[in-house]
Amino acid sequence: MKVNLIVCLFVLDTERNENIRKNDIQKIKILTTKDFKLPSVLFDGKSVKNQVRNNLSSIIGSNIFHLEQVFAMDYEKEIDIIYLGVTNIENVRKLDNNYQLIDFNVENNNTIIFGNNSYSYKTIEIESYNNIEYIHEIKTDDANIKRTLLDTLISYKRIRVNADSSDIIFKFMGSSFTLENVRILYEMIKDTKVDKSNFRKKIIKYCEKTDDEQNDIKNGFRPSQKYKFKPLKGDVWL
């Protein structure tokens, strides 16, 4: 039985906004091969997580990323073990030429943005042995793309769930960030809007001020305070 170790690496990228009064544009991207497959390596019978980590490190030229196992898919002659990875674009130091970062998002719980294309999907609830199973039906005739999208969608939904019970949002941040950066990313992932003041109160205890500033004073606007993540043991983020 062949065992594939697959990683869905989500990367927060930032594009400079020409309007200095506006926040820079944050985008989530997904790491794929040039033919839109997720990074994969055959299990060698040793440490699964170390093998996934080493493979990913060789692709992005860095070992600074969050990594956790999400689920496994059992096929007729092979098993896929899926890992979720999260990092910031500043940690992608030297991207392997065989790979690319493409736009990714999930909108309205029915559309997947994947590169320059969008794919509709629906989630069906099935009761089995007193448990609820969720089946995602993705509209595409391309079996390889469907497999990639399914792995990516399930991994992304893990981020959505964990966003309210863990520090995974901060795993997307670079070495420093503003509170607005965190809020905008949270709203993007959850596909919702939050009250700015209440959200700030919830996250501020996990943020430690740095000496960095968002804008130069010469621009004529008040600089935004920059922070770094300060974990609290035994606590839940939101």
Regions of the chain with pLDDT less than 70: 18-22, 212-223, 233-238
pLDDT at 217: 45
pTM score, whole prediction: 0.90
Q: Which residue has the tokens 């621009």?
A: 219
The b/e string for 47-67 (b: 16+ C-beta within 10 A; e otherwise) is eeeebbbebbeebbebeebbb
pLDDT at 213: 60
Residue 186 structure tokens: 């949270």
pLDDT at 134: 80
159/162 Cα distance (integer angstroms): 5
156/160 Cα distance (integer angstroms): 6
pLDDT at 20: 63
Q: How many CB atoms lie within 10 A of CB 151?
A: 23
Give 115-160 pLDDT, tens digit per residue. 999 999 999 988 777 777 788 999 999 999 999 999 999 999 999 9
Give the H/E segment covering residue 182.
helix 179-190
Q: Which residue has the tokens 């989500």?
A: 10
